[in-house]
Structure 1
Amino acid sequence: MLAPVEICSDGRLELSDAVKLALVDHCGAIIIDAPPVNALSAAVRRGIFESVRAANADTAVRAIVIACAGRTFIAGADITEFGKPPQPPALNEVITAIESSSKPVIAAIHGTALGGGIELTLGCHFRVAVKDAKLGLPEVKLGLLPGAGGTQRLSRAVGPEFGVKMIVTGEPIGAPEALDHGLIDEIVEGPAADGAIAFAKKVVAEQRPLRLLRNDDSKLVAAKADRSLFTAAAAAATRKNRGMNAPLACAEAVSWTLDTPFDEALKKEREAFLKLVADDQSKAQRHAFFAEREAVKVRDVPDGVKPRPVGRVAIIGAGTMGGGIAMSFANSGIPVTLIETGEEQLTRGLGMMQKNWDATAARGGIPADEPTKRMALIDGKVGIENVGDADLVIEAVFETMAIKKEVFTAIDAHARPGAVLATNTSYLDINEIAAVTSRPQDVLGMHFFSPANIMKLCEVVRAKQTASDALLTATMLAKRIRKTPVVVGVCHGFVGNRMLAVRGLQGEALLKSGALPEQVDAVLTRFGFSMGPFAMGDLAGLDIGWRSRQDRGIRWDIADAICEAGRLGQKTSKGYYRYEPGSRAPIPDPEVEQLIDGTCKRLGLTRRAIGDQEILERMIYPMINEGARILEEKIAARPGDIDVIWLHGYGWPIHRGGPMFYADLVGLKTIVERLEFYARSLNEPALRPTALLARLAGEGASFASLNTATNPG
């Protein structure tokens, strides 16, 4: 990397602590050094703006290169400025200064160039990147659109058809794909800044004309002549974004490249951006962004505590969960000992992992040689005595306390001293499991979600005696394997499944009141869930919950009647719905309505017509109430932690921000009033608002105002 010590030929001149300008081979090299990700703070924007002016004014400068120190190019806006009054210069002003430069400006991209970073490069006349760079506009993931010309310039660089795909999905692309589509001009070897300076010298020597994307409509010609090319691409890009505002706004903004003058389109883009900033959906998505980063911060861990080193993981159980967990570690290059009770079970589990990786490779999700590399990291063994060389042991066997205790007794006998011992239990008391070992300080929960190799969430459960370094080991390792860890305390079902059980009870109650499964599911899918609870139950298998209820002596009259009729879900081609052979599409079944009616008559219940608003309130508000109870009991440290769990583990729609954030949007007073109404009218005392929820509503406060100081556990 260039040494950014001189400001052109005048010697030393400090323009910004974060931005320096050096004269190298007649190139004004603007070096941004604002760790960790060179975000576009006001200081960085000001430094770039002034450096471009200084370089243009210096006769020794023939070309300008914009590069970054550290591990990445500009990775976007400075998130610490979100919600604060804007400080000049605005990013649009900086881009205009770059675009208007009389000398060629070349962006030197390495690491990731995202959001405003890409928008800045689009104002440059040329762009080069190292071969492993990533480029993208992820604003849609915050419920926004690119607000500094990104929708207009990117579409002119790569064409509106590919541009709308990039902007609506928000997914970055690699340098080779960027080169193919014209987003960059060259892939360079070595440091990006050096490659950009060499490229700049060629531009000057060859007297290449400066390319201003604002004036280049060459890649718009085809879509202007045949608008269907763009509308088809836009429809494909927005197909999976049901009910979300930002993707549609992004697609509309890109469409302006086809019929709106550039400067007018920039103005409309800015207006659309500001409208989205004020939108509840973007507020929800920005909340989720910050909540996820806050959730990984473990409270009440003494300063100086470090995670234990982990070089190998042992996983007990090669079934669906154990195999998925093993794949997650192997995907991140961590060796795994996969342990089963017999060769047949082990062979079956290893075969399923091989099949899954082969299928991913066939789809192009991973390179063709990756399945072999990842399988080489899995060492299959029979017998728990093989845990001895592991630094972390994860048990993933049947969800029965007696079996868990038996397994942990054996783990305790064979695991090395200092190994972290984790259970993947979804519900059970980890304190009770830890008590059968001689080292309860090493025991905790790591509750992965199925399919574990895909789902992001990991509830890290702190038991009463879990040591701080063991807890940090689990959370840091979850991050290492690209999971989102959230620390929770011990109770039945922890956070996610405890709230899910409340929703399940309300679903059962709604069927008794008069709703049908398809009506309830339709309300929740319109809310934004990808599947309703009854269709999801059919997919998972109704016998799982049925067996759990039997073990605990609990009866759900309608759900149990469905199972007793042999309707166990998709596995039997009938559950709450029926399924055609080879199809997963749920079809409402009159037999289910007859079962519901018959059960209600036997119980002496009279069913009635149920409105959609009542369904939504009865399915969502009791969950919020349970979330408040979880906070009261300090099972979760923050309302945002609950939101992260539901966003990443249970399919809560991202544009709703999570149940606790949604509660704040609705208003806690409204939720308290409706819960009190249902508690009275349905004679369900359990629906009465918790003390915390009632207090916050009475004070006119919100869950966002909470700052729980104590750690769960």
Structure 2
Amino acid sequence: MTGSVSLTMEDNLAFIEISNPPVNALSQTIRESLVNAITEAQKDTDVEAIILYGQGKHFIAGADIREFNLPPKEPSLPDTIQIIEECTKPVIAALAGSVLGGGLEVALGAHFRVALKDAKLGLPEVTLGLIPGAGGTQRLPRLIGIEKSIEIATFGKPVSASESLEIGLIDDLSDETDALQAGKAFAHIILNNQAPIKRLSSLTCEALKPKIASNWQQTLKKKFRGQIAPLKCLEALNMAASHSFADGMKEERAIFMSLRESDQRVALTHVFFAERAAAKLPDLANIKSGSVSQIGIVGGGTMGAGIAVSCLLAGYNTCMVERDEEAAQKGKQTVFQMLASAVKRGRISAKRYDEIEASFIATTEYSIFKNADLVIEAVFEDFDAKKAVFQQLESYCPDHCILASNTSYLDLNEIAQTTTRPQNVIGLHFFSPAHIMKLLEIVIPDQVDAKIIANCFDFAKRLGKIAVRSGVCDGFIGNRLMMRYRLAADAAVIAGASPYEVDQAIVKFGFAMGPYAVSDLAGIDIAWASRKRRAAIRDPRELVTNYMEKLCEMGRFGRKTKRGYYLYDELNPNGVEDPEVLELINQERNERGISPRHISTDEIAKRYLLAMINEACKILEEGIAHRPLDIDLTLIHGYGFPRWKGGPMHYADQLGLAKILHDIKALQNEDNWFWEPASLLEKLVAEGKTFSDLNS
């Protein structure tokens, strides 16, 4: 393992620097060296105080999670922190940057905490399916109380240095810009004042009142539906009031080790690493990307405005073009409505809002793109409309400018051929709302230059997006998958389930919404338009349900018309079941000569997922996605697949690919075309391999 800890002396102070770039993770080497440094400083009779700090911008950003799948090695982090806390000389943690997970637990083991203003303190273990396992759930409540500890530890979100001072998490907020200097200054203060050592393990805390405890439990169950770790974290935090410190530590560690072996922890760790691997593409490793600073958007509708806001929030100079002056002003208004919401949420300051308001331009003139580095087309899904836009862009944009389309389905190769510079054309498929959703599909046409691809991945990183590389096909990765598993849902409805039973089954699996509720939210006329577009190329064996066509013909487009699959009104903003929809479905069953049968919740979810996994295999076979992890991230960040199940490819590995293949083959009897197993799935089963094997 990498990393080092250095001990230096100056006058009566010992400085222990933790170095394990980039974020000073607590590897076994760091833990062992930290124990040795504390022990040595403790023995030195000249040392009156010890300062712990991290090299570079961060204190410690947590444990080295690469060790999770390895046998535990001594010293453990709890033992390391206990040695720090038991030191008879005052230990000061000088905090900067990330102070997360095990890093905050180390700081809680110190006797004093001083922070720079850029410090972020938190216990994010629940995001990896764990709880703090080195005393975090026992020391934190003793310092700031159980209720504040619940807010920090069960939600996994860090708090600022100023808030940390306010709630008593740190002792002082320094004006220094260097952690070592902040620690040194604070050490002199406590030595001059002869401040007594504060060991958090010796403190006590008050238990929550039963009603408050119950409310927290219900809140966590609702917010983290299906997840184990947040509720286990609440349980451990409550032990700080009901158990001695030693007994609480034993219970905390037992819970931590149990969760460490859980499927949810494995899944969440997979996603953690997948998110970091997504943009690391071997064929781009030696490509030097250029600078993108001037952004143009064509289209000021909800999607175009959302993309503009995403760029503005990231600090890009951004402008917008619309077809006429009225549309331009409406687009500008939409942008500033979204930015006003960002001010309320604290994403930007009021001052930054005013700066953008003074400089943002929405116009009808394409000449505004004369210095653009990247222009993103976000007009409606019509090839002729997009072709006209790209011809305009070619006339006004500089030669180096990236010409991007936000199309959800259309052929990027065909769009590229409408220009004389297909090497500059790429797909940037944002998800709505674009300024909030994290997924960005970067769609690669055949002739695009590698430097353009590298620039777009850099652009996505600055936007804070999870960028996934996709090849060109109808719907790319995400929408192609959605069309397939939606067909499985539609078939279940025709066979006997209701749309509402399907939605309930998918929500029970872990999605926030079922497919029919999602359709109502997006507008079921969007899928209607897609079906019309694909009519000429659709396989005649594909299921097309008449009742869905009738709903659209009746003008029932979902929430925006108050009627879709569900009925909506002021009393039922999330919708209620509609008997008229059920009657239309029964009519179609009668027309098809189908006697409806009961389909269980488990069977509905099973079919939905099998269709998703099988089509994902075909996407991999065709090279549309390069790695299974890209499919996992697409479904998690774009379509609501439960993060704690790791995405469909990881979930399939956990179930076992042989079982997946067996279940798909069993369904071939009812529809040989739809349930034809992907050859990649058969190959992996024959070779005893997993999707995980393909990620490397």
TM-score (structure 2 length as normaliser): 0.96
- Whether the 8 Å contact between 1:160 and 1:230 is mirrored in structure 2 is no
Deviation at 1:700, TM superposition (A): 3.0
Residue 353 of structure 2 aligns to a residue in which SS? helix
Is structure 2 residue 283 aligned with structure 1 residue 300? Answer: yes
Partner of 2:85: 99
Letter in 2 for 1:346: A
Q: How does 1:553-632 map to 2 (within 5 A)?
A: 553=535, 555-581=544-570, 583-632=572-621
- Cα distance in 2 for partners of 1:289, 1:480 equals 19
Q: 1:579-624, CA deviations, whole angstroms, 9 ceiling, x for partnerless residues?
A: 1237422201111110100122122222211111220111110110
Partner of 1:13: none
Partner of 1:515: 497
Deviation at 1:363, TM superposition (A): 4.8
Partner of 1:213: 200
Residue 232 of structure 2 aligns to a residue in which SS? helix
Partner of 1:711: none
Deviation at 1:268, TM superposition (A): 1.0
Letter in 1 for 2:684: L
Is structure 2 residue 148 aligned with structure 1 residue 165? Answer: no
Is structure 2 residue 14 aligned with structure 1 residue 52? Answer: no
Is structure 2 residue 9 aligned with structure 1 residue 26? Answer: no
- Cα distance in 2 for partners of 1:20, 1:689 equals 57
**Corresponding residue to 1:485 among 467, 470, 485:** 467
- Cα distance in 1 for partners of 2:652, 2:435 equals 31
Residue 239 of structure 1 aligns to a residue in which SS? helix
Aligned length: 687
Partner of 1:12: none
Residue 616 of structure 2 aligns to a residue in which SS? helix
- Whether the 8 Å contact between 2:373 and 2:400 is mirrored in structure 1 is yes
Partner of 1:348: 330
Is structure 2 residue 689 aligned with structure 1 residue 701? Answer: yes
Partner of 1:691: 679
Residue 621 of structure 1 aligns to a residue in which SS? helix
The farther-off stretch of 91-100 and 695-704 is 695-704
Q: How does 1:243-262 map to 2 (within 5 A)?
A: 243-262=226-245
The farther-off stretch of 82-91 and 253-262 is 82-91
- Whether the 8 Å contact between 1:164 and 1:234 is mirrored in structure 2 is no
**Corresponding residue to 1:651 among 631, 640, 650:** 640
Q: How does 1:542-557 map to 2 (within 5 A)?
A: 542-553=524-535, 555-557=544-546
Residue 23 of structure 1 aligns to a residue in which SS? strand
Letter in 2 for 1:598: Q
Is structure 2 residue 652 aligned with structure 1 residue 663? Answer: yes
Change (3 A) 1:376 1:80: farther
**Corresponding residue to 2:184 among 197, 201, 204:** 197
- Whether the 8 Å contact between 2:303 and 2:433 is mirrored in structure 1 is yes
- Whether the 8 Å contact between 1:316 and 1:322 is mirrored in structure 2 is yes
Q: 1:426-466, CA deviations, whole angstroms, 9 ceiling, x for partnerless residues?
A: 11110111111111111111100000000000000111111
Deviation at 1:414, TM superposition (A): 1.3
Q: 1:393-429, CA deviations, whole angstroms, 9 ceiling, x for partnerless residues?
A: 1111111111111111111121101111111011111
- Cα distance in 2 for partners of 1:236, 1:440 equals 52
Partner of 1:534: 516
Change (3 A) 1:194 1:255: same
Letter in 2 for 1:241: F
- Whether the 8 Å contact between 2:3 and 2:21 is mirrored in structure 1 is no
Deviation at 1:186, TM superposition (A): 0.4
Letter in 1 for 2:192: A
Deviation at 1:237, TM superposition (A): 4.3
Letter in 2 for 1:521: D
Q: 1:71-111, CA deviations, whole angstroms, 9 ceiling, x for partnerless residues?
A: 11111112332312222221112101110000000000011
**Corresponding residue to 2:452 among 423, 447, 470:** 470
Is structure 2 residue 269 aligned with structure 1 residue 281? Answer: no
Q: Percent identity?
A: 42
- Cα distance in 1 for partners of 2:293, 2:339 equals 23
Deviation at 1:542, TM superposition (A): 0.6
Residue 455 of structure 2 aligns to a residue in which SS? helix
Deviation at 1:559, TM superposition (A): 1.6
- Cα distance in 2 for partners of 1:382, 1:73 equals 50
- Whether the 8 Å contact between 1:334 and 1:377 is mirrored in structure 2 is no
Partner of 1:458: 440
- Cα distance in 1 for partners of 2:370, 2:485 equals 42
Is structure 2 residue 392 aligned with structure 1 residue 404? Answer: no
Deviation at 1:510, TM superposition (A): 1.1
Letter in 2 for 1:45: R
TM-score (structure 1 length as normaliser): 0.94
- Cα distance in 1 for partners of 2:346, 2:367 equals 38
Partner of 1:9: none
- Cα distance in 2 for partners of 1:152, 1:428 equals 55
Is structure 2 residue 127 aligned with structure 1 residue 118? Answer: no
Letter in 2 for 1:208: A
Q: 1:21-64, CA deviations, whole angstroms, 9 ceiling, x for partnerless residues?
A: 11124110111122111111122112211111111111111000
Residue 87 of structure 1 aligns to a residue in which SS? coil
Deviation at 1:68, TM superposition (A): 1.2
Letter in 1 for 2:465: K
Q: 1:294-317, CA deviations, whole angstroms, 9 ceiling, x for partnerless residues?
A: 11112323x531112111111111
Partner of 1:391: 373
- Cα distance in 2 for partners of 1:339, 1:481 equals 21
Alignment root-mean-square deviation, CA: 1.6
Change (3 A) 1:373 1:216: farther
The farther-off stretch of 403-412 and 634-643 is 403-412
Deviation at 1:683, TM superposition (A): 2.5
Letter in 1 for 2:294: R
- Cα distance in 1 for partners of 2:23, 2:624 equals 34
Change (3 A) 1:689 1:17: closer
- Cα distance in 1 for partners of 2:439, 2:516 equals 22
The farther-off stretch of 445-454 and 607-616 is 607-616
**Corresponding residue to 1:87 among 57, 73, 78:** 73
- Cα distance in 2 for partners of 1:362, 1:649 equals 25
- Cα distance in 2 for partners of 1:189, 1:234 equals 39
Partner of 2:541: none
- Cα distance in 1 for partners of 2:49, 2:512 equals 51
Change (3 A) 1:169 1:124: same
Residue 380 of structure 1 aligns to a residue in which SS? strand
Residue 651 of structure 2 aligns to a residue in which SS? helix
Q: Name structure 2 gaps, 5 residues minimum.
A: 539-543
Is structure 2 residue 622 aligned with structure 1 residue 633? Answer: yes
- Whether the 8 Å contact between 1:447 and 1:461 is mirrored in structure 2 is yes
Change (3 A) 1:479 1:582: farther
